[in-house]
Amino acid sequence: MNTTSKNIILSLLVLTSGIYAQADTLGDVQAKGSLSCGVSSGLVGFSSTDSVGRWKGLDVDVCRAVAAATLGDANKVKFVPLTAKERFTALQSGEIDLLVRNTTWTTTRDTSLGFNFAGVNYYDGQGFMVKKSLGVTSAKELDGATFCLQAGTTTELTLADYFISNGMSYKSSPSDTSAQSKKGFATGRCDALTSDQSQLYALKTTLKDPSSAIILKDIISKEPLGPVVRQGDDKWFNIVKWSLNTMIAAEEFGINSNNVNTKFKNPEALRLLGRSGNLHKHLGLDKKWAFNIISQVGNYAQSFDRNIGKDTPLKISRGLNALWRDGGILYSPPFR
């Protein structure tokens, strides 16, 4: 090997080691004593504030789970509300440590923005909400319609693809936030509102007269929504991924916040709870990291039921988001 080649290799090693030395999100979070988590600017059931300003929702619970795993306290989260346009810049710049903002996992986002998707916490699909008075029962009847939608989302491209595929025309009325899209729909600026169906359920509950609108059965896309981290920090990527998996696996094992102290016999459950094995060492976390998630946040079913389930205003059924053994497609890789 000649001198030039050696110098090139040494330069690459120095550059690479520098990148990895700088990427220590876990260390940064623990030094701050809090997790900065990007969420939506207000989406009922997923991330919104209650009457006393406390954040709650399915996405919020993922943020809280990561805080429980890394800091031992699910409440040590600084929630940063972001619009669809702001979210990726906030993550790239380091303003937030984690993005859990009903964000669709796509090829482009996964390969060109410097991000890693750490899993799926809600399987969704794009749908349509229309006024009952319009008399429409299918998306195929919306030829020539005007749509309210949120700019900077996958919604725009999916809508265009659908109408091109079906030989129909349409107009769009984009807004920066879901609240603005809803206002446009409510004031008659558009014929229909299109977004992820979960978001439509949430927005429908906030209409002055929710019964005046219907959500069509048509689903025109796959929208796997999940937490996002920056590339270049595999340890943090693994922590976020397995924090989400902990909530899913806990439901499968029958472990929840009420019975987490029970003496379980399932060997995998024991490894999950840190009562055997050394999984925590591979993640660089405390032995009780998963126990803290379950005891303080709960399992996936608890989060789903209290935020968007049948006993909430959204009344969303588990559907695809049921466990694999219950007819859904949700499951965690093994804890072993």
Which domains are delineated in the chain? Answer: 26-123+225-326 (3.40.190.10), 125-222 (3.40.190.10)
CA dist 120 and 105 (Å) reads 8
Question: Given the DSSP bridges, would you call strands 171-175 and 192-196 parallel, antiparallel or unpaired?
Answer: unpaired
Q: What is the structure's pLDDT at 177?
A: 87
What are the backbone angles phi and psi of residue 117, rounded to the nearest 5°? -85, 130
Which of 64, 84, 6, 70 shows the shortest CA–CA distance to 33?
Answer: 70
pLDDT of residue 178: 86
Q: According to the model, what pLDDT value does residue 22 have? A: 54
Cβ contacts of 207-213, under 8 Å, gap ≥ 24: 207/182, 211/132, 212/131, 212/132, 212/133, 213/129, 213/130, 213/131, 213/132, 213/185
**pLDDT of amino acid 149:** 95
Cβ burial, residue 4 (10 Å; 0-12/13-18/19+): exposed
Please give the pLDDT value at position 7. Answer: 39
**Inter-residue contact 291 to 273 (CB < 8 Å):** yes
* Average pLDDT of the chain, as a whole number: 92
AA letter at 86: E
Q: What percent of the chain has pLDDT over 90?
A: 90
**Contact yes or no for 83/177 (Cβ under 8 A):** yes
Could you say which residues of the chain have pLDDT below 70?
1-22
Strand order in the sheet with 192-196: 171-175, 146-150, 192-196, 126-131, 213-215
pLDDT score for 32 = 97
Q: Which helix (H) or strand (E) holds 99?
A: strand 98-99
At 326 the pLDDT is 97
